[in-house]
A and B are shown apart, each in its own frame.
Chain A
Amino acid sequence: MSDPRWSKSGDVASRDRSAASAYATDDARLALAAGARPRRFGAWYVAEHRLRVMWSYAQTIISTGFGEPLVYLYAMGVGLATLVDRNLDAGGVGYLVFVAPALLCSAGLTAAMIEFSYPVMVGYKWNPTFSGMHAGPIRPGQIVDGLVISVVIRLAATMVVYYAFMVLFGAVPSPTGWIAIPVAVLTGMAFGTLLMAYASTIREDTGQLAMVQRLVVLPLTLFSGTFFPLTQLPWFLQWIGWISPLWHGTELSRVATFGYAEPIWLTAVHVVVLVAMTAVGWLWSRRIAVRRLTA
């Protein structure tokens, strides 16, 4: 400022400039401080939002959460079992014990399917709430993470109730049976995150999700060793089980609930496949979220 070469007007201009830059750094400091918490906890805020939305349809969640196990366990495990137990060798246990872990995993898959399809379509397209989150300090990946967290919580609650009914029906002879709860959650996530990734790519809704329900979920439910062992299928259909998260989850749950006899390596394969599918679906969804929201 004391430099004699500065003209009077130059003096004013440079003072203006330095005032402006001081202002800018203050602004920047404030922004960086305010951005710190959302950077760290953004996914939890998204989960909080999702859980609040779920609470708005809690009646449905609770009634299906209690109704479904009651109806299915009774119909399959008690009703159908009277017929099956006379004819089928289900690994040395009654049909109820055989089918209950499959029903549990299937319920996990169905619930995950609902929570990962409709909210994703809403969030990107029908009423772009994801854009709203992203207009705030939430990053696209955090939106996906938040969805995953909320669905894990929702599935865990539903699976605990389902498992309680299994115990009441006497379908869990083994003390390690509770492990079926996290396994069923994982089964839901393995299928659900892949479905989320697919749903994230849908730009024009022409009923693709209904097709997924009919052409993917239904065959998976029928041919994943759910109601009868996979080995009962002709060899050329057995591959369905190997790519089906439901088969891996079901077999794993059976090991937990009644000590289903299978080689240890196969049990390891179930875990690896389910974790891998979850990871692929999750990461893929994150990538699509970045691409779709930051275009």
Chain B
Amino acid sequence: MIVAQGLVKRYGAFAAVDGISFEVAPGESFGLLGPNGAGKSTTMRMVGAVSSRSGGELKILGLDPDRHGPDIRSQLGVVPQADNLDTELRVRENLLVYGRYFGLPRRVVAERADELLSFAQLEDRAAAKVDALSGGMKRRLTIARALINDPRILLLDEPTTGLDPQARHILWDRLFRLKEQGKTLVLTTHYMDEAEQLCDRIVVVDKGSIMAEGTPAELIRRYSSREVLELRFGSDRNHEVAQALQGRGDRIEVLPDRILVYTADGEQELERVSEAGLHPITSLVRRSSLEDVFLRLTGRSLIE
């Protein structure tokens, strides 16, 4: 569906995207994971055929976006990072005018609008003003709008950023249904849990380049241990204790507020730490996540 090779986007001397290559297969759910400013959104804009590339090759549905922008975009559904629903129109009207952009007959648009309002759980809000919706509802309406043309590929840029946990879970559930229906999803996120929930395959992006690629489980296996022991000794003592902990587990990572010990068995490691006479204020044993992968790959945490 999407083939990118050595994709570059430069703004003046600055390369926002610096030679990214990836492919997305039909029905796949593909994630670009990275911190803010990594080049995810810029990549999305090129894949969305709204921003031209400075270098490299890009084919979407077998077409070159530089020549076939409108044709490609007629097959995409786009959920931008910031909602841009028309606040001067009502909820259902937003779907109606957007559907027309794809040249769909009014009758078809009206039918789909009703189906999508129910998919987005907004049937009873059809005549409401957009500004009267909650953040989660607006997001769902934006997703409904992106589906009005029955797109081949759905592009989601940070779909749940800024939503409360409950709204995020509702949204994930909706997106998961689309994935089950066989829609091709491409999404960017800086949330680990989101990537783990929704993506079959992930590329980790930092500073415009790809750091790693694989399924969430593969990445964790390759770049992290099975478990992580988190120890807090208080921000003053963390550094000092870290010296004493050197050599424990597979490796350790010292963060400002805590020390991470990567190990196959966290409980056992915790016992050994206590035996050595070190008593953390709090400790936590958890499974490795993509956050750990990112930390390993870049030496930085994702949300800064």
Residues in chain A within 8 A of chain B (CB atoms):
21, 23-25, 27-28, 30-32, 34-39, 41-42, 45-46, 48-49, 52-53, 56-57, 127-129, 131-139, 293-295
Bits for B70-86, please: 1 = Cβ < 8 Å to A, else 0: 11111110101010111
> Which residues of chain A are near B102, meaning CB under 8 Å?
34, 37-38, 136-137
B101 touches A137 (CB 8 A): yes
B97 touches A25 (CB 8 A): no
A30 touches B101 (CB 8 A): no
In B100-140, which residues have CB < 8 Å from any A CB?
100-103
From A25, A127, A294, B62 is in contact (CB under 8 Å) with A25
B84 touches A31 (CB 8 A): no
A129 touches B84 (CB 8 A): yes
Bits for B135-176, please: 1 = Cβ < 8 Å to A, else 0: 000000000010001001000000000000000000000000
CA distance in complex: A134, B63 (Å): 18
B61 touches A38 (CB 8 A): no
CA distance in complex: A146, B62 (Å): 30
A27 touches B80 (CB 8 A): no
Give the residue name and chain of the A residue nearest to B98 (CB). Answer: A136
B68 touches A32 (CB 8 A): yes
B84 touches A136 (CB 8 A): no
A53 touches B86 (CB 8 A): yes
A-B complex: 3 closest residue pairs judged by Cβ atoms: A37-B103, A35-B71, A24-B62
Majority-rule SS of B interface residues: loop
> Which residues of chain B are near A35, meaning CB under 8 Å?
68, 70-74
Known: A56-B89, A131-B84, A135-B76. 9 other contacts (CB 8 A): A25-B62, A27-B61, A30-B152, A37-B103, A46-B101, A49-B100, A137-B70, A138-B101, A295-B51
B73 touches A132 (CB 8 A): no
Give the residue name and chain of the A residue nearest to B101 (CB). Answer: A136
CA distance in complex: A136, B48 (Å): 9
Q: Does B252 touch A at the CB level, under 8 Å?
A: no
Give the residue name and chain of the A residue nearest to B50 (CB). Answer: A134
A23 touches B26 (CB 8 A): yes
CA distance in complex: A128, B87 (Å): 11
B68 touches A49 (CB 8 A): no
B71 touches A34 (CB 8 A): yes
A-B contacts, 18 listed (Cβ < 8 Å): A23-B26, A27-B62, A31-B71, A35-B68, A38-B103, A39-B71, A42-B70, A42-B101, A46-B101, A48-B100, A127-B84, A131-B80, A135-B48, A135-B78, A136-B78, A137-B101, A138-B101, A294-B52
CA distance in complex: A294, B97 (Å): 22
> Which residues of chain B are near A136, meaning CB under 8 Å?
73-74, 78, 98, 101-102, 149
A28 touches B82 (CB 8 A): no
From B71, B98, B149, A32 is in contact (CB under 8 Å) with B71
Give the residue name and chain of the A residue nearest to B52 (CB). Answer: A294
